[in-house]
Chain A
């Protein structure tokens, strides 16, 4: 099977790739997502969707359910119209890739080997390596600028470099749809931008459909076509960043007083939180 990393035809349609219908997900006795009748979400081909929301709102849980890492209590996830839990897991893995939050590689694993693991869904136990695999892995490394680390154990790299390697692995998997669970956590601002630039290129140059959970609202507004704001396990609002990031949403979803201005760099909304200190100063001024 040849895997072409470039998909020029992708991105010009409005086909739904991933959909949740009446989704309810939880741990033990508690429903974390969709407690009020289930959560419906459509992810359209060739878009970048960022799921935002306060801690504990269920955004990571939603992403994990969409990636079939968690089984829903009710409702289901559809990948290209097919129920994901009824498809062979390996077949799903050729279409949908997932980068878990804070993944851990075993000590001693070198970068090239980790990226090669991305080819797992395309392999069988007796056919573990092909020239195709090698070409894809080589290109995935080059594409994220990690070729120079190919022979180095992962634990010798910095956090930002490591995250680039994990993205290479997801790229080597060659899936149309990519789910990223907080890909920028634990990274400093420069590396956050670095990783999101990679995601942006994946989307633009490779036509990948991306869903990611992000904490930083301003970066989410810059890099996503569509924001999904979650609150208490349901979707509070979704749409273009300018429609979602409003002073009202900030108050309702995050419980935060904020001013929204235009980002002078990108023209997207920029959230400026108003803390108590500013409020008190305003009050004393007036």
Chain B
């Protein structure tokens, strides 16, 4: 006997060859709209600059046509900047969605797990300390700082993980240790900045605000690669997130090896965020804000992965567009995301505190 299915119009099963799953109309709709907006904003961003190019022309160039001179400006000069922004934003959004789902806390993000501040510390150290030792030319090369940032992000995250691990990984302890490690990294960064000379400090400060200025294809490739590997991996891991979000005991009861699954998810999130930070500097709040916004738009119980990636890309490219259009070419994109993100963080904190006290 089979009664009416539990799959309603909001929730449909799908089959694609051997792959089966469930999709939600609303979440798919939100993702599609976000993707369309992303393409539009990116096209507008590509058209802007000292030499404006109409959006229709930009689209024509991207499809392989258009005027060769315009095409050179768009694909060689401007596309790397926008693509880096989109990839970095997507990596951050995805990283945040993974972190929040696995820690089961909307305030969790790789920013808080120490990745961002650890990356900043190492990046600053690579400029300031190497400069002091007289090999600044080598260390400040476009390759040196990103690699230092990547290493810093991974080291800080590993430190947080080791310090927070005590017969398993508790989400709340992870947050507290992450905040402590981040604060330590920030004070060390400040110390380095104070002891640096003016020229070095200026160089580093632009990087520290998270900037997409003068990005080349060298920046696009690592961000694109990590996303190409990270997104499919995240989707595979998401299967275990479905059990993990019921709590450790229920997940164990469902046959999930909790610590291993959680380490896998956190690992992917950390690498995504560290590479993103290495490519564009610390663009703050994207990983925190985007998954929560996408969750509220899409519905469901945890941030959507693909939706958060698309939303992150949209936010960073849009922030870049706003920075360049409204505030002037020199303003780094990270400043705009902080302006958007900080009030939102306050809102989240106030909302949670209220609920606790009621």
Give A contacts to B, CB under 8 Å.
Answer: 64, 67-69, 88-94, 97-100, 103-109, 112-118, 120-121, 123-131, 134-135, 137-139, 141-142, 147, 150-151, 173
Evaluate whether A67 and B239 lie within 8 angstroms (CB atoms) in the complex, with A128-B21, A129-B13, A134-B6 already known: no
In the complex, the answer to whether A150 meets B8 with C-beta atoms within 8 Å is yes
In the complex, the answer to whether A108 meets B6 with C-beta atoms within 8 Å is no
Which residues of chain B from 224 to 262 have any CB-CB distance to chain A below 8 Å in the complex?
235-236, 238-240, 242-243, 245-247, 249-250, 252-257
CB distance from B333 to the nearest CB of A (A): 31
Evaluate whether A93 and B255 lie within 8 angstroms (CB atoms) in the complex, with A103-B249, A123-B239, A138-B2 already known: yes
Q: Which of A90, A97, A120, A142 counts the most chain B CB atoms within 10 A?
A: A120
Enumerate 22 A-B pairs (CB-CB under 8 Å) in ascending A order: A69-B249, A88-B255, A89-B255, A90-B255, A98-B253, A103-B246, A104-B247, A105-B301, A106-B301, A107-B301, A108-B295, A108-B299, A108-B301, A109-B245, A112-B8, A114-B246, A125-B235, A128-B21, A129-B14, A129-B21, A130-B20, A142-B3
Select A106's contact among B20, B249, B257, B302, beta carbons within 8 Å: B302
In the complex, the answer to whether A67 meets B253 with C-beta atoms within 8 Å is yes
Q: Note all chain B residues with C-beta closer than 8 A to A104.
A: 246-247
Evaluate whether A93 and B8 lie within 8 angstroms (CB atoms) in the complex, with A106-B301, A134-B13 already known: no
Give the docked Cα–Cα distance between A137 and B11 (Å).
14
Evaluate whether A69 and B18 lie within 8 angstroms (CB atoms) in the complex, with A104-B247, A125-B239 already known: no
B300 within 8 A of A: yes
Give B contacts to A, CB under 8 Å.
Answer: 2-8, 10-11, 13-14, 18-22, 104, 235-236, 238-240, 242-243, 245-247, 249-250, 252-257, 295, 299-302
Give the docked Cα–Cα distance between A116 and B249 (Å).
17
Give the docked Cα–Cα distance between A120 and B236 (Å).
14
Evaluate whether A120 and B18 lie within 8 angstroms (CB atoms) in the complex, with A100-B249, A138-B2, A138-B4 already known: no
Give the docked Cα–Cα distance between A116 and B246 (Å).
12
| Other contacts beyond A91-B255, A104-B246: 9, CB < 8 A | A89-B255, A108-B299, A120-B254, A125-B240, A131-B13, A134-B5, A134-B6, A142-B3, A173-B254
Q: Which of B240, B254, B295 counts the most chain A CB atoms within 10 A?
A: B254
Give the docked Cα–Cα distance between A116 and B21 (Å).
12
Give the docked Cα–Cα distance between A98 and B247 (Å).
13
Give the docked Cα–Cα distance between A127 and B13 (Å).
11
In the complex, the answer to whether B250 meets A100 with C-beta atoms within 8 Å is yes
Q: Note all chain A residues with C-beta closer than 8 A to B13.
A: 129, 131, 134
Q: Note all chain B residues with C-beta closer than 8 A to A113.
A: 11, 301
In the complex, the answer to whether A117 meets B247 with C-beta atoms within 8 Å is no
Q: Note all chain B residues with C-beta closer than 8 A to A100.
A: 247, 249-250, 253
Evaluate whether A138 and B252 lie within 8 angstroms (CB atoms) in the complex, with A106-B245, A151-B10 already known: no
Give the docked Cα–Cα distance between A100 and B248 (Å).
10
In the complex, the answer to whether B301 meets A109 with C-beta atoms within 8 Å is yes
Select B19's contact among A68, A88, A90, A126, beta carbons within 8 Å: A126
Q: Note all chain B residues with C-beta closer than 8 A to A68.
A: 252
Give the docked Cα–Cα distance between A126 and B239 (Å).
9
Select B252's contact among A89, A108, A129, A147, beta carbons within 8 Å: A89
Q: Which of B18, B245, B250, B301 counts the most chain A CB atoms within 10 A?
A: B250
Evaluate whether A141 and B6 lie within 8 angstroms (CB atoms) in the complex, with A109-B301, A129-B20 already known: yes
Give the docked Cα–Cα distance between A129 and B240 (Å).
14
In the complex, the answer to whether B7 meets A134 with C-beta atoms within 8 Å is yes
Select B11's contact among A69, A94, A112, A141, beta carbons within 8 Å: A112
Q: Note all chain A residues with C-beta closer than 8 A to B104.
A: 106
Evaluate whether A97 and B253 lie within 8 angstroms (CB atoms) in the complex, with A117-B242, A125-B236 already known: yes
Give the docked Cα–Cα distance between A236 and B252 (Å).
30
In the complex, the answer to whether A137 meets B301 with C-beta atoms within 8 Å is no
Give the docked Cα–Cα distance between A129 and B13 (Å).
7
CB distance from A164 to the nearest CB of B (A): 15
In the complex, the answer to whether A120 meets B247 with C-beta atoms within 8 Å is no
Q: Note all chain B residues with C-beta closer than 8 A to A151.
A: 8, 10
In the complex, the answer to whether A120 meets B242 with C-beta atoms within 8 Å is yes
CB distance from B60 to the nearest CB of A (A): 39
In the complex, the answer to whether A138 meets B3 with C-beta atoms within 8 Å is yes
Q: Note all chain B residues with C-beta closer than 8 A to A127.
A: 18-20
Q: Note all chain A residues with C-beta closer than 8 A to B295.
A: 108
In the complex, the answer to whether B6 meets A105 with C-beta atoms within 8 Å is no
Q: Note all chain B residues with C-beta closer than 8 A to A105.
A: 246, 301
Q: Note all chain A residues with C-beta closer than 8 A to B235.
A: 125
In the complex, the answer to whether A121 meets B254 with C-beta atoms within 8 Å is yes
In the complex, the answer to whether B300 meets A139 with C-beta atoms within 8 Å is no
Q: Note all chain B residues with C-beta closer than 8 A to A128.
A: 20-22, 239
Q: Note all chain A residues with C-beta closer than 8 A to B239.
A: 123-125, 128
CB distance from B99 to the nearest CB of A (A): 15
In the complex, the answer to whether A147 meets B3 with C-beta atoms within 8 Å is yes
Give the docked Cα–Cα distance between A104 and B301 (Å).
12
Q: Note all chain B residues with C-beta closer than 8 A to A112.
A: 6-8, 11
Q: Which of B11, B238, B301 counts the most chain A CB atoms within 10 A?
A: B301
CB distance from A4 to the nearest CB of B (A): 13
